[in-house]
Chains A and B, each alone.
Chain A
């Protein structure tokens, strides 16, 4: 295409969709500003600062990483919400509390397993099984529950989180949602608010309303520039020592191969074992889900049913079985997401899922409600918005910014980014 034609096409686009163009311009502006900030350039007219400023590259890397970690958790949790929306045609407000259920069930088991390992189970069983609520019993630090310190506890907890949440969502479907299959989406939505309340406060009844610490930190991996070389270490002190002289023998320290880049000495990114667990597990689960949807008969049936339920039923697709599979997959992923998010945050409260729910809704709507890939991409975008927005606005507005972005996208593209594509 000739340049003139391209310009004409662009002009047409801008004239037809001015809001989209404006939003695009805004995003480009933010991008340019970010680049200028990273390179330390400031553009000013008179005394008014227009663009740029200073932003350490390591801070940006950290913000992006944080965004990806939270975004993957939100995306993982959002898949179930998106699936139930497309296949059962209602927005499930209980989804947040499925997440909380998974987190509490998983952590109850993780604490018990860790307690077994640490030999403190005697007389403390109920204390451990309620995830350490109350004055007696061992603390999170005594148990050292993290993927490196106690992998058996973490994996056992994850499995139980998935299994229990699947069971709870199937039971609730049988009791609440199945009798309402022929009712409108709004009626089922309101019933799901009832489910959310009942589930959340049953959790409060058993586990108490207090916020508790789950893990005592745990090991982390630090990527740093040390005297012009990239290096990996497990302790900050190791890096400080290394930049002054040789690394101490008893700590992990590796210099990465690669070109030297000046005399840079700073921490670039620090990844905790919890974050790594969340990222690795959710990526694995997402790939598994992708394969299920694309390669198996079940996946095909689900996609067909999301597309047109009546047509699917006429073609002989066992719709109730597909619905059950939806709850199994959606509930299981919600439970896993809750468990991993609690691991990553290091704290657990009965409000975990409820607080996340609105962000998850934002992600699912942003991606296009009903689309699974949309939910994942939307989750990542919401996570990144929430964390990278800290470059421009105070931290108290980061969640508000995520909601604002969702509203903006809704206005510009009401069907979301992946709109029109359902369960695929």
Chain B
């Protein structure tokens, strides 16, 4: 974006290092690093206090936190493209994930399997899954975008339910494509209905092939030289073999998060992205300026859906198996992703990553860690299995069973916490954590020419010269649709 792009490689390299250092000090990378460091410290304490043992236990907990952070961050970033950039209220994320995952499964599952697939390589499956999700996005957005904004929400959520219910149906359990069509080969396929579908070729395979000679079934083959070295090195520190492999896959996920982030930043700073933001602030104005806003919306919807498909593939298929009852495909998953986006602040990519991290760690995994600590130190005996059983002894002032019951039910109580956090957030800070950031109005860094102009308190949107990321003034949108600037 700035002048360093055209300079010689040496200067560019030095510039990049300088920029990275500046980012770490005061920019977004630093913010993310700081938050993640805080989360890691917290979970290290949990792990040490909790039932897990030694360094291995700590590493396993941190791996889990990072893993879920990465998964949520990816999907939140994809949703940010819809809601944060273009103001498209898509609450069918789970449906687009399902389309991506099932297309991937159909393409990569072995031909002789039950249900059968096409048996094609991994990368074709990934591309195919993304394409299918994008096409699904186009199909959904074409009718919905002509309607009022909140109808897109209801159409997308209905779509995601139609997808899920169709996958549950035994009608498509196993079928033959082109059964009675001349000149085309008959292709047996299937969704497996409630039984689900096996995916022996999945995104963990390339990672496993680093460690094992037979990545689809590590138990049957030996380790590679790298695998031997890494696994034994970690093993010496007390980290289990499965955790090492998961760590490697988590690293791949983090790379994808970076890729998503980079892509969104590029989109946001491109002319295309500026039109999207204009649509978000006031579609009528964007339209009057000669932009075919509907075409823009369909395009961005397709891109976002493709990313959701990719996120779904990386999320769901790493188990080597998927079925429609998986929580990944339930409508509630969409809301979790949305909540993570709201926590971070819609419109900000950094906020999206932070929202994903905070949701995954503090709301999703944290309460269970705390409960494990409580169980270890404070809860004696067995917890009653029902609320009635827990409440009964309270009459005789014995609060132990109620406490034990509460600790045991933390997995459901954490959703109460999620709900309360969301309510408080919407009441106190509807723009999320990073929603206060202002849009950079100029495409060149104004700070480069004569420093920051003074009197910034009175300048609404154009004063964000110090921040070079696509942080957006989401506050303006919440106050009404009257354009992004100067609404006092």
Shortest Cβ distance from residue A81 to the other chain B in the assembled complex, whole angstroms: 12
Judging by beta carbons under 8 Å apart, are A400 and B146 in contact? no
A188 neighbours in B (Cβ, 8 Å) = 426
In the complex the two chains form, what is the Cα distance from A396 to B164 in whole Å?
Answer: 11
B151 neighbours in A (Cβ, 8 Å) = 365, 410, 414
Stretch at the interface among A51-59, A153-161, A189-197, A308-316: A189-197
A91 neighbours in B (Cβ, 8 Å) = 150, 153-154
Judging by beta carbons under 8 Å apart, are B415 and A201 in contact? yes
B220 on the interface (CB 8 Å rule)? no
A105 on the interface (CB 8 Å rule)? no
| A interface footprint on B418-454 (CB within 8 Å = 1, 0 otherwise) | 1111110111001000000000000000000000000
B53 on the interface (CB 8 Å rule)? no
If the complex has contacts A126-B392, A358-B331, are A183 and B478 also in contact, measured as CB distance less than 8 A?
yes
Judging by beta carbons under 8 Å apart, are B480 and A184 in contact? yes
If the complex has contacts A184-B478, A190-B338, A193-B335, are A208 and B427 also in contact, measured as CB distance less than 8 A?
no
Shortest Cβ distance from residue B211 to the other chain A in the assembled complex, whole angstroms: 38
Judging by beta carbons under 8 Å apart, are A195 and B169 in contact? no
B339 neighbours in A (Cβ, 8 Å) = 193-194
Judging by beta carbons under 8 Å apart, are A176 and B427 in contact? yes
Shortest Cβ distance from residue B223 to the other chain A in the assembled complex, whole angstroms: 42
A411 on the interface (CB 8 Å rule)? yes
B153 neighbours in A (Cβ, 8 Å) = 91
Judging by beta carbons under 8 Å apart, are B422 and A410 in contact? no
Stretch at the interface among A36-44, A128-136, A223-231, A235-243: A128-136
Judging by beta carbons under 8 Å apart, are A193 and B155 in contact? no
B422 neighbours in A (Cβ, 8 Å) = 190-191, 193-194, 197
| B interface footprint on A130-146 (CB within 8 Å = 1, 0 otherwise) | 10011000000000000
Judging by beta carbons under 8 Å apart, are A396 and B416 in contact? no
Which residue of chain A has its CB nearest to the CB of B162?
A: A400
If the complex has contacts A208-B386, A361-B154, are A198 and B416 also in contact, measured as CB distance less than 8 A?
yes
Stretch at the interface among A254-262, A321-329, A334-342, A401-409: A401-409
A27 on the interface (CB 8 Å rule)? no
Judging by beta carbons under 8 Å apart, are A407 and B391 in contact? no
Shortest Cβ distance from residue A196 to the other chain B in the assembled complex, whole angstroms: 7
Of residues B422, B426, B479, which shows the largest number of chain A Cβ atoms within 10 Å of its Cβ? Answer: B426
Interface size class on chain B is: 35 or more
From B159, B331, B385, B425, A134 is in contact (CB under 8 Å) with B385
If the complex has contacts A362-B158, A394-B170, are A195 and B147 also in contact, measured as CB distance less than 8 A?
no
From A183, A195, A204, A365, B423 is in contact (CB under 8 Å) with A195
| A interface footprint on B140-161 (CB within 8 Å = 1, 0 otherwise) | 0001101110110111011101
Which residue of chain A has its CB nearest to the CB of B423?
A: A194
B480 neighbours in A (Cβ, 8 Å) = 184
Shortest Cβ distance from residue B203 to the other chain A in the assembled complex, whole angstroms: 29
A148 on the interface (CB 8 Å rule)? no
B388 neighbours in A (Cβ, 8 Å) = 126-127, 129-130, 133-134
In the complex the two chains form, what is the Cα distance from A262 to B410 in whole Å?
Answer: 65
In the complex the two chains form, what is the Cα distance from A163 to B205 in whole Å?
Answer: 57
A204 neighbours in B (Cβ, 8 Å) = 409, 412
Q: Is the interface of B mostly helix, strand, loop or mixed?
A: helix
Judging by beta carbons under 8 Å apart, are A194 and B426 in contact? yes
In the complex the two chains form, what is the Cα distance from A185 to B478 in whole Å?
Answer: 9
A397 on the interface (CB 8 Å rule)? yes
B131 on the interface (CB 8 Å rule)? no
A348 on the interface (CB 8 Å rule)? no
Which residue of chain A has its CB nearest to the CB of B395?
A: A126
Judging by beta carbons under 8 Å apart, are B419 and A199 in contact? yes
Judging by beta carbons under 8 Å apart, are B412 and A209 in contact? yes
> Within residues 178 to 227 of chain B, which ones have a CB less than 8 A from any CB in chain A?
none
B342 on the interface (CB 8 Å rule)? yes
Judging by beta carbons under 8 Å apart, are B419 and A195 in contact? yes
A95 neighbours in B (Cβ, 8 Å) = none
If the complex has contacts A176-B423, A194-B420, A198-B423, are A403 and B342 also in contact, measured as CB distance less than 8 A?
no
If the complex has contacts A197-B335, A394-B171, are A399 and B423 also in contact, measured as CB distance less than 8 A?
no
B54 on the interface (CB 8 Å rule)? no
B159 neighbours in A (Cβ, 8 Å) = 403, 407
> Within residues 327 to 349 of chain B, which ones have a CB less than 8 A from any CB in chain A?
331-332, 335, 338-339, 342
From B146, B161, B338, B387, A193 is in contact (CB under 8 Å) with B338
In the complex the two chains form, what is the Cα distance from A187 to B430 in whole Å?
Answer: 7
B256 on the interface (CB 8 Å rule)? no
Judging by beta carbons under 8 Å apart, are B158 and A406 in contact? yes
Judging by beta carbons under 8 Å apart, are A206 and B419 in contact? no
> Within residues 165 to 202 of chain A, which ones have a CB less than 8 A from any CB in chain B?
176, 179-180, 183-191, 193-202
Shortest Cβ distance from residue A392 to the other chain B in the assembled complex, whole angstroms: 13
| A interface footprint on B375-392 (CB within 8 Å = 1, 0 otherwise) | 000000000011111011
In the complex the two chains form, what is the Cα distance from A200 to B335 in whole Å?
Answer: 14
In the complex the two chains form, what is the Cα distance from A207 to B405 in whole Å?
Answer: 12
Shortest Cβ distance from residue B183 to the other chain A in the assembled complex, whole angstroms: 21
26 example contacts (A-B, Cβ-Cβ < 8 A) are as follows: A126-B391, A126-B392, A129-B388, A133-B386, A179-B427, A180-B427, A187-B478, A190-B342, A191-B423, A194-B420, A194-B426, A197-B416, A198-B419, A198-B420, A202-B416, A205-B387, A205-B409, A208-B386, A361-B154, A400-B161, A400-B166, A404-B162, A407-B155, A410-B147, A411-B147, A414-B151
Q: With A183-B426, A193-B419 given, name 4 new contacts (CB 8 A).
A: A194-B421, A208-B387, A397-B165, A400-B161
